Amino acid sequence: MSRINGLFAALQAQGKKALIPYITAGDPQKEATVPMMHALVEAGADLIELGVPFSDPMADGPTIQLACERALAHNTSLKDVLAMVAEFRTTNATTPVVLMGYLNPVERMGYDEFAAAAVVAGVDGVLLVDLPPEEAVDVEDSFKSRELDMIYLIAPTTTDERIETIGKAGSGYVYYVSLKGVTGSKALDVDDVARNLDRIRKHVSIPVGVGFGISNGATAGAVAKVCDGVIVGSAIVNRIAANADNAELARQQVSELIAEMRTAMDQA
């Protein structure tokens, strides 16, 4: 069983939901990323989405745009990101890691070369924001033969018919984008998410994570009641940005947020 499937099965057995933080690799420095990943796990994270910085992050709000700019200021490349995962794996063999980003850096490396290197590094899944299943046929061939999970997005605007297609194409989990907007948006409507989750579950059998607009324990706890995983990105990246010159303080503040969310979700 893949690390991602194993995680969701184990959590389900315990009646718990997955807490999934996102950070941009190389933000603010390359050497800060692996210690931050360990801190996230220690504070209660179940799975890590590690952002691959891109020059043109079309689906991201200002917070993650700036994180990409900070990471690219010292040329954090896809190869660097894979090296970070490999380093993380030297002391953590259990926490799944999903790379999240845009297609072009992967396309430039080559699908096969990337997939092979990702598996060696210890990557479990990949989420490419600008790659819908219709365009992913070649990529999926490279990934599936190596048991890399392909995580797709579902949006409030996605039709039932497409939800079914995405549910079949994806593996590991699907990522439900809770609102029409970019990352770091403010208002998530829990009732609306609940209604859409009902709709999604009619067509999708794998776990459903929810992201966009979750920035504190209260929202995380409320959303956890209706989904399988809670994804939080910009709220963490904001704390990293605020402490760009003090990695220890950044880890401390991020850990506090993760712990708050963990507690709220486990009580939910």
102 binds another protein (CB under 8 A): yes
49 flagged as catalytic: yes
Is 60 among the catalytic positions? Answer: yes
Stretch that binds another protein, among 6-14, 126-134, 193-201, 236-244 (CB under 8 A): 126-134
Site for another protein in 56-85 (CB under 8 A): 56-62, 65, 69, 72, 75, 77-79
Catalytic option among 27, 46, 49, 124 = 49
Nearest residue (CB) to another protein, 34 versus 106? 106
Please state, in angstroms and rounded to a whole number, the distance separating the CA atoms of residues 168 and 182: 25
Whole-angstrom CA distances from 84 to 80, 122, 240 are 6, 10, 18
Q: Which amino acid is at 174?
A: V
Check residue 105 for interaction with another protein (CB under 8 A). Answer: yes
Q: Is 75 left (phi over 0), alpha (psi -120 to 50) or beta?
A: left
Q: Out of 12, 31, 42, 55, which residue is the one contacting another protein (CB under 8 A)?
A: 55
Q: Does the footprint of another protein cover residue 12 (CB under 8 A)?
A: no
Q: Tell me the per-residue interface mask from 150 to 189 with another protein, x by CB under 8 A, - otherwise.
A: --xxxxxxxx--x---x----------x--xxx--x----
For residue 65, the minimal CB distance to another protein (Å) is 5
Distance CA 60, CA 128 (A): 13
Between the alpha carbon of residue 143 and those of residues 170, 171, 205, the distances in Å are: 11, 11, 20
Q: How far is the CB of 157 from another protein (least distance, A)?
A: 4
Q: Please give the size of the binding site for another protein, defined by CB under 8 A.
A: 47
d(CA 187, CA 212): 9
What are the Cα distances from residue 256, in Å, to 51, 135, 182, 220, 262?
21, 40, 25, 14, 10
By CB under 8 A, tell whether 135 contacts another protein.
yes
